[in-house]
């Protein structure tokens, strides 16, 4: 017999100063109040990257972003970002011999961007890459190549496929999410979860990215990294370790990367009160113990430090007899043991986001040495609120961003070693969305 509780869904806040600017819906909240924090640059510059013969697709995307389409009313109206022709550059003039040859396409996009960067003095704030669709499992793709080429020199991009633009139905409801990605990468904050005292609660998401030789499947390199967020979902920064070829080098680099993150957290003003480390499923026992040891030195800086492992496991699921589809409501938390809970971050009342897959339920294991029921409830509640704060889409998957963002970063790090990027060109930006 298991016991369960129902967690209350916090609303979304659209102002750092006015506590009344709260709404239950992300899109309606932004339309009514405007974004939580606007983009600081008054007139950002954008570059559209597309091959010869694709200008119509680029124009269709530009007009949809500027004027709006369907329920979306456009970047200027919704996100308060101006978008006129004199803000836009076109990077084109290259051709794709075979759109199904993804290796060749990737190289041509990369070469076109590099050539343009070398011959132009002014650098756009964001590159919008329009390219053929490729599958997520494919090693070579225009998506990966363009993102990697730009990230290596500290530049951010948003990728859109020809297939999406040409599918009128999908394009109409996707433009709002494309615009959201542009807004966030330009430095804006769309919303925050309405969580009290969130500025004093810091969450560090631990991550690891491994690259393998596609033929031998031998590991070529591994990179440790961290993401840092407030408990209301506001992203702070990321740190990246040096690429390593063996565990002997990787473990010290993991410790060094976490220590750099802790040092920056300790320097925040106002100083955070609590610190929580979130471990993904693939973090081994040795890695977790190393992180605990690294954090121990900073214990005096925080009132409370917690360690939590968050995983998705198909063998755990629940049935709600009172629901027509027997799916529990979002926020249902089932206590498996004193330190182990199953939390539904999506539920029966919101079927659309998970209509083609099972709803997200995460296993939350509290791994601190000194446990109290209050601390465990705080930990689970924090995970739940972070599952509401995904800035990748208005109808994004309900999964805690401390882990989800790390998954997105890990995929891109397989293509690009970002430890050599100078300064904070990308560390404080959400380049991975």
Element (H, E) at 239: strand 235-240
Is residue 54 included in any domain, yes or no? Answer: yes
Task: List per-residue pLDDT tens for the chain, 433 residues long.
Answer: 567 788 888 899 999 999 999 999 999 999 999 999 999 998 999 999 999 999 999 999 999 999 999 889 999 999 999 999 999 999 999 998 877 776 777 788 888 888 998 898 888 999 999 988 765 544 455 666 677 767 777 788 898 999 999 998 999 989 999 999 999 999 999 999 999 888 899 999 999 998 877 677 777 889 999 999 999 999 999 998 988 988 889 999 999 999 999 999 999 988 899 999 999 998 999 999 999 999 988 878 888 899 999 998 777 777 776 776 777 788 888 888 888 888 988 877 776 666 677 777 899 998 876 666 666 788 899 999 999 999 999 988 889 999 999 998 888 887 776 766 655 667 788 988 8
Order of strands across the sheet that contains 157-161: 88-91, 46-49, 126-131, 157-161
Contact 325, 348 (CB under 8 A): yes
If DSSP codes are grouped into helix, strand and coil, which group holds residue 411? helix
Task: Show which of 185, 219, 234 is a domain's final residue.
Answer: 185
Number of continuous H segments (helices) and E segments (strands) in the chain: 11, 16
Clarify whether residues 358 and 314 are in a common domain.
yes
Task: Show which of 165, 185, 205 is a domain's final residue.
Answer: 185
pLDDT at 306: 92
Clarify whether residues 139 and 248 are in a common domain.
no
What DSSP line would sit under 147-209, residue for residue? Answer: HHHHHTTT--EEEEEHHHHH-HHHHHHHHHHHHHHHHHHTT-B--EE--TTGGGEEEEEEEEE
Is residue 5 included in any domain, yes or no? Answer: no
Clarify whether residues 175 and 203 are in a common domain.
no
User: Angle, nearest 10°, between helix axes 142-151 and 401-413?
Assistant: 90
This prediction has a pTM of 0.90
pLDDT at 82: 94
- The CA-based diameter of the chain, rounded to the nearest angstrom, is 68
Contact 209, 223 (CB under 8 A): yes
Domain range spanning residue 123? Answer: 38-185
Clarify whether residues 166 and 202 are in a common domain.
no
- CATH code, domain with 59: 3.40.50.2300
Task: Show which of 164, 185, 206 is a domain's final residue.
Answer: 185
Clarify whether residues 255 and 385 are in a common domain.
yes
Cβ neighbors of 28 (< 8 A, separation 6 or more) are: none
pLDDT at 359: 77
What do you get for the CA distance between the two ends of the chain, in Å? 41
- CATH code, domain with 234: 3.30.420.10
Please state the domain count of the chain: 2
């Amino acid at each position: 017999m298991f016991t369960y509780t129902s967690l209350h869904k916090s609303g979304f806040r659209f102002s750092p100063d006015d506590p009344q600017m709260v709404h239950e819906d992300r899109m309606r909240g932004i339309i009514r109040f405007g974004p939580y924090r606007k983009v600081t640059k008054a007139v950002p510059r954008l570059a559209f990257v597309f091959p010869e013969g694709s200008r119509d697709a680029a124009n269709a995307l530009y007009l949809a972003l500027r004027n709006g389409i369907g329920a979306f009313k456009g970047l200027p109206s919704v996100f308060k970002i101006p978008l006129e022709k004199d803000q836009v550059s076109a990077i084109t003039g290259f051709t794709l011999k075979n759109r199904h040859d993804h290796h060749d396409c990737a190289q041509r996009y990369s070469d076109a961007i590099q050539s343009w960067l070398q011959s132009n003095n002014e650098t756009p704030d964001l590159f919008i890459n329009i390219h053929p669709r490729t599958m997520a499992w494919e090693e070579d793709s225009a998506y990966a190549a363009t993102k990697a080429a730009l990230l290596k020199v500290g530049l951010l991009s948003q990728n859109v496929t020809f297939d999406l633009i040409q599918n009128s139905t999908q394009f109409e409801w996707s433009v709002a999410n494309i615009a959201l990605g542009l807004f966030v990468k330009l430095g804006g904050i769309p919303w925050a979860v309405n969580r009290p005292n969130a500025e004093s609660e810091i969450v560090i998401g631990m991550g690891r990215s491994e690259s393998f030789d596609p033929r031998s499947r031998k590991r070529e390199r591994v990179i440790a990294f961290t993401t840092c967020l407030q408990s209301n979902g506001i992203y702070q920064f990321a740190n990246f370790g040096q690429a390593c070829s063996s565990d002997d080098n990787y473990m010290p680099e993991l410790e060094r990367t976490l220590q750099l993150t802790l040092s920056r957290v300790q320097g925040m003003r106002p100083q955070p009160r609590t610190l929580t480390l979130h471990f993904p499923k693939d973090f081994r026992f040795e890695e977790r113990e190393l992180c605990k040891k690294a954090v121990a030195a900073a214990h005096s800086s925080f009132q409370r430090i917690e360690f939590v492992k968050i995983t998705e496991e198909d063998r755990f699921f629940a049935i709600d007899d009172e629901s027509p589809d027997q799916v529990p409501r979002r926020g249902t938390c089932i206590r498996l043991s004193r330190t182990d809970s199953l939390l539904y971050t999506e539920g029966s009342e919101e079927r659309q986001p998970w209509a083609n897959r099972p709803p997200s339920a995460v296993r939350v294991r509290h791994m601190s040495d000194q446990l109290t029921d209050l601390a465990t409830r705080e930990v689970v509640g924090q995970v739940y609120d972070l599952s509401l704060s995904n800035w990748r889409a208005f109808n994004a998957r309900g999964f805690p961003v401390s882990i989800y963002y790390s998954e997105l970063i890990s995929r891109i790090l397989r293509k690009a070693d970002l430890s050599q990027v100078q300064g904070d060109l990308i560390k404080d930006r959400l380049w991975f969305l």
